[in-house]
Structure 1
Amino acid sequence: MTSSAVSCLLFLRMKALQEAELCFPQLNSSCRKAMRPHSVSMLTYILLSSTSLLTVTLNLLVIISISHFKQLHTPTNLLLLSLAVSDFFVGFLMFFQIELIDDCWLLGELMCILWLYLTYIITSASIGTMVLISVDRYLAICEPLRYPNNVTPKRVQVCVCLCWICSVFLHSLLLKNNLEQPGRYNSCIGECVVVINYIAGLADLFFSFIGPVTVIIVLYMRVFVVAVSQARTMRSHVTAFSLNCSVTVTAKRSEMKAARTLGVVIVVFLLCICPYFSVALTGQDTLLNFSSAFFLTYLFYFNSCLNPVIYAFFYPWFRKAMKLIVTLKILQPGSCQTNIL
């Protein structure tokens, strides 16, 4: 083989390798694929897809349970329903994260901005719902006599709707330029990014993370102190209670059990989201390698999968509802009136 033929083959081989590294090999302005071991990409794909499927399935069970059984239409459960809806959509959004395993977005600029826009809205609504849950538990434990009159299903529905509307409005303003011209900040074809100016980014960080987390921690610290105090009072006076007061004692215990369960939900929530937002707060997110960035993002998404698991562990009504759903007994006439508690 002549030297010119060898040079030609080497040139073609190098060209093929360069094309193989591009998201869109036929376009010179295409982004380059991230060169990672095949095993790492496959493990990431399996982890994301399985978690996405599990998140969607478990939260769908929560949504059906609370929506179908009338006995579960309480103010607190309506907040759990809102949280389950946001977690359900997070499961779908997690599936689209698979697109970026090789740092290539193949679904187009419009789908990119819609995906990121919905991610911002759903995440913000989820955090807002956590704040509402904290307020609900604060009123139930700290102001039990006024709770039934102040916290009604109708008022909770209004608060939940306002939470979602505010989330949509806020992020429509933040992403206005990106929505008007999708892909305007992409440096190459196959990239999926949005750009928010510094002031708007700080405002978003405050309203979506710092403010809500501060409110959640303050309220639950207060709930914890009052719950411990009430528990000690009930234990010290339990023998003095007459039969006429047994219903009140049971109600207080039920409220404190709900506070404890939802406290676990909130603690897990904070453990999952704080690392992600803390990195964003320090401005070091661009310095993370793939493994670190993936871990923080996955932990952020994984919280949506954990919430139904916590319900199943702490709430007997959820386990009972799951059995009725899986066995299709909810299709029977009058099943919505089933005693689930």
Structure 2
Amino acid sequence: MVLISVDRYVAICDPLRYSTKVTQMKLLNASCKRITRPRSEALIIYILMSCVSLLTVVLNLLVIVSIIHFRQLHTSTNLLLLSLAVSDFLVGLIVMPFQILLTEPCWFLGELTCTAFVFVLYITVCASVGNMVLISVDRYVAICEPLHYSTKVTRTKVKLCVLLSWVLTVFYAFMMLYGNLEDPGRFNSCYGECLINVNAAVDLVISFILPISAIIVLYVRVFVVAVSQARSMRSHIAAIKLQRSLTVTVQRSELKAARILGVVVVVFLMCYCPSYGISFSGPAIKMSSSTNLFFFFLVYFNSCLNPVIYAFFYPWFRKCVKLIAMLHILQPQSCLTNVM
């Protein structure tokens, strides 16, 4: 019945290419082999991805509500955190549930839905990476040029940068998937498959090599300046003969800065490197294969870790979570609460 429906759809909606497509369907469908996963493996995938999806939505929603509601958090840096949380929230709300459906042997939502899913995937993931680059730039200016930070980084400039980042992300996703959007399913080897075709080399450079290089360079520069400032402070402490009592504090500050920056870079690399490694395997990406599913899951998991890395290190976030959990935000004038 499904094949009959597909045959009638092609005959009516695409009569000029009816004979060609029907011939391809006969040839390709004969060699199409469905890979059925063991029930235990499928169950683990469903439970794990569902839990990560729910956790990603909840954590990023807490960040979004906190920054939007409390006026004290309406700063330039927090606007970048808000944009990052929105992109990661969409990953958990839209991308992950559809990725769970790809664990099935057959994609039953149609070729257009497959292409639309990949389009949203590109937008959300690339927007998340772009926001991380903007946060790196913000931290670089704040630490390396503190005297000029208030003039160089304003809320208006940050809003324009965030808007431009999202616009460029949508444009990039459209250009990368233009062939797939023009003719959904053209790269499928059989019906019921979700297969896309992208320029792996271009995608690797634009969406991974360039942003990760910028993040590493900026964070290394920030770390060097932070260590230099800590050493200068330690020298000043020694000059006033308080070195013994405060050296431990300075050393802890250096270690904390190194640890946070190290977590940011290492987690990003661990989550993104494997997924972009499959770009070297060929231009076609079969979305439902077990290996690719694991690599994509790592990228999505980064969206779950981002609110932990960027928000849970801030004491104000923990206070906001308590106020939200206690429904304090429903009280009048709660937006004026001191959360810093």
Establish whether TM, by shorter chain, passes 0.5. Answer: yes
- CA contact 2:180–2:197 (8 Å) conserved in 1: yes
Distance 1:238 1:285, change over 3 A: farther
Aligned residue in 1 for 2:335: 336
Matched, 1:314 2:313: yes
Between the aligned partners of 1:150 and 1:312, the Cα distance in structure 2 is 23
Report the CA distance shift for 1:177/1:289 in structure 2 as closer, same or farther (over 3 A).
closer
Change (3 A) 1:86 1:288: closer
Preserved contact between residue 105 and residue 288 of structure 2 (Cα < 8 Å)? no
What is the Cα deviation at residue 226 of structure 1? 0.6
Match of 2:40 in 1: 39
Q: Which deviations, in whole Å up to 9, do the C-alpha atoms of 1:3-51 show, x marking residues without a partner? A: xxxxxxxxxxxxxxxx9xxx98998956653222111111111111111
Q: Counterparts of 1:50 and 1:116 in 2: how far apart (Å)?
A: 21
1:1-341 pair list within 5 angstroms: 32-92=33-93, 93-196=95-198, 200-238=199-237, 261=260, 264-281=263-280, 283=282, 291-311=290-310, 313-341=312-340
Instruction: Rate the CA distance shift 1:263–1:62 in 2: closer, same or farther, 3 A.
Output: farther
Deviation at 1:261, TM superposition (A): 4.3
What is the deviation of 1:77? 1.1
**TM-score, normalising length from structure 2?**
0.81
Q: Rate the CA distance shift 1:46–1:116 in 2: closer, same or farther, 3 A.
A: same
Aligned-pair CA distance for 1:291? 4.9
**CA separation in 2, counterparts of 1:259 and 1:76?**
20
Q: 1:285 to 1:230 in 2, by over 3 A?
A: farther
Shift of the 258–318 alpha-carbon distance from structure 1 to 2, 3 Å rule, reads farther
Gaps of at least 5 residues in structure 1 are: 1-18, 242-252
Matched letter for residue 207 of structure 2: S
- Quote the sequence identity (%): 58
Q: Count matched residues.
A: 306
Contact 2:200/2:282 (<8 A) preserved:
no
Question: Whole-Å Cα distance in 2 between the matches of residues 223 and 105 of structure 1?
Answer: 46
Residues 104 and 288 of structure 2 are in contact (CA less than 8 Å); yes or no, is this contact kept in structure 1?
Answer: no
Tell me how far 1:271 sits from its aligned partner.
2.1
Q: Displacement of 1:173 after TM fit?
A: 1.6
1:224: Cα distance to partner?
Answer: 0.8
Single out whichever of 312-321 and 87-96 deviates more from structure 2.
312-321
Name the aligned partner's letter for residue 226 of structure 2.
A
Provide structure 2 residue ranges, at least 5 long, that are not aligned to the other structure.
8-24, 241-251
Name the counterpart of 1:247. Answer: none
